[in-house]
Amino acid sequence: MGLASSPVKDALAGLRANEARYFWNKYHHVFVTRTVAEDPETVPWVDQILAERDLHFPYPVLEVSRFEEAGTKFADVFYENGLVVSVMYALDAAGKRAVGFKLADGMAVPVELADKFKFARQKSKLAGTIRGSYFVIKGTH
């Protein structure tokens, strides 16, 4: 549910399931997504972080997830075109802070990322082939 308007809805649902499995295995956290209307604060926070690299995605947002676990804030934004932006932001300034990009199987690399990032491939039983990249967050958000 929630991803039906995506042209790569099955692969995007697989990415969402892959995220859910990761957070359950690592933190025993139940991964829940919401609409932007249910959680209006996540997208602006992620957009503020993306602005560090002059990135803005004009794609419709289908679902978001945001929670705090083990001293780290996590956020995921699922875009209609199949892009997933994942933020890991340690509350301790010495901790890890990064943004990950995951591309659903079957989608092209967004023009906003094509010249700035290289994507590695990973096989997933839930999501098929995941192409991913990341950058380290430098600012305070």
Per-residue model confidence as pLDDT tens digits over 42-63: 999 999 999 999 999 999 999 9
Backbone angles phi, psi at 81, to 5 degrees: -75, -5
Domain ranges of the chain: 9-136
Q: 69: phi > 0 → left, psi -120 to 50 → alpha, else beta; which?
A: beta
Structural element, H or E, at residue 66: strand 61-69
Per-residue H/E/C for 71-109 = CEEEEEEEECCCEEEEEEEECCCCCCEEEEEEECCCCCC
User: 0.85 exceeded by the pTM?
Assistant: yes
From first to last of the 141 residues of the chain, give the pLDDT tens digit. Answer: 789 999 999 999 999 999 999 999 999 999 999 999 999 999 999 999 999 999 999 999 999 999 999 999 999 999 999 999 999 999 999 999 999 999 999 899 999 999 999 999 888 887 778 899 999 999 888
Integer Cα distance of 6 and 95 in angstroms: 35
**Residues 33/76, Cβ–Cβ less than 8 Å:** yes
Place of tokens 């995605």: 57
